[in-house]
Structure 1
Amino acid sequence: MSDRIKFGPVVPDAYQHLLSLSGAVEKAVANAGLDRRLVELVKLRVSQLNGCAFCVDKHSRDARTIGETERRVHLLPVWRETTCYTEQERAALELAEAMTTLSQHHEVPDAVYERATSVFTEEQYAAVAWAATAMNALNRLGVASRLPLPDQDAS
């Protein structure tokens, strides 16, 4: 693979603002009382859909670090076919997928919205939506720049 321009060093102010956004989202997630593992699953699923190898690697490791099981990490691409995920996790994953594939469907379907708002407070729903949004932005930079994976020995 060819080496590509890395956006952070070239436009550091914009990159720092994106990292600040990610930090604000993490704070919103905590303030909303959401389980960090749920949000890590959202980040991982969005990254899988966007094909960002760097982010898939990072968020699968981060999820395991905070107590997520190998099984659930591996089954995430087929979450609809399992009973391994809670009702909240399923609603969050469905919302994140709808937001990530907007170019295909041009909306978040009413049924997705209704399922999510039936299991989340307004604050929680907004925090999940912001988590998906920030992850989508980071994925686009990672994919476009072919952000390399860290050394295999990194855990």
Structure 2
Amino acid sequence: MTARTRLLDPAVGRALSALSKVAKQGLGDPALAELVVIRASQLNHCAFCLDMHLTIAREYGVSEKQLDLLTAWEEAENVFDERERAALALTESVTVLTAGFVPDEVYERAAKHFDEVRLAHLLGLIVAINNWNRVMVSRRIAPGGYTP
């Protein structure tokens, strides 16, 4: 085990896990939660998280078509419903922050589909997976280590 793979203190891991768990539970839709974390992980090039969450998504019944077309969700209008599309748009805006902020129209679009509590949990989930992606990519954790 290299210094990179030992980098994460167990207390930090527990805190990140707790945030992820609370956010997913509060969102109340495990399949949507997995679409969100997979999309963020795609954007962040986190192979470990992709491997793990693709497995979990299938367990929650996310269709192969959705998983196959997730990188092109904007063009796949007949594959993702408006609620999923709003969550994915918010995921991309929070993950990439190319404009330095989340545009009002993206936030308002999500707010139409999620009440305040669920929107807060959606944001918490996006923040949590971005943290996990950065930790795992920084540590160069290879895919294949996840077991349900």
The TM-score normalised by the length of structure 2 is 0.91
The answer for the alignment partner of 1:115 in structure 2 is 109
Contact 2:27 2:119 in 1 (8 A): no
User: Does the CA-based 8 Å contact 2:19-2:125 persist in structure 1?
Assistant: no
Once the two structures are superposed, the pairs formed by residues 35-114 of structure 1 within 5 Å of their partners are 35-82=29-76, 83-102=78-97, 104-114=98-108
Gaps of 5+ in 1: none
The gaps in structure 2 that reach 5 residues or longer are none
Q: Is the aligned partner of 1:134 residue 2:133?
A: no
- Which has the larger share of helix? 1
1:60–1:108 distance in 2 versus 1, CA, 3 Å: same
CA contact (8 A) 1:92 1:116 kept: yes
> CA contact under 8 A between 2:49 and 2:133: conserved in structure 1?
yes
Q: Tell me which moved more, 66-75 or 10-19.
A: 10-19
* Partner Cα distance (1:26, 1:36) in 2: 7
Structure 1 equivalent of residue 140 of structure 2 = 146
Aligned equivalents of 1:45, 1:128: Cα separation in 2: 13
Q: What is the CA RMSD across the aligned residues, in angstroms?
A: 2.0
Task: Kindly provide the CA deviation profile for residues 28-74 of structure 1, in whole angstroms up to 9, marking residues without a partner as x.
Answer: 223xxxx2111100000000000000011111111111101111101
Higher relative contact order (CA 8 A, sep 6+): 2
Q: Percent of counterpart pairs with the same letter?
A: 38
CA distance in 2: counterparts of 1:18 and 1:65, whole angstroms: 22
CA shift for structure 1 position 7 = 4.5
Extract structure 1 runs of 4+ deviating beyond 2 A.
none
Judge conservation of contact 1:7–1:141 (CA < 8 Å) in 2: no
Equivalent residue number for residue 21 of structure 1: 19
Quick one: structure 1 residues 127 and 48, their matched pair in 2 at CA, closer, same or farther if it must change by over 3 Å? same
Q: Secondary structure at the match of 1:105?
A: coil
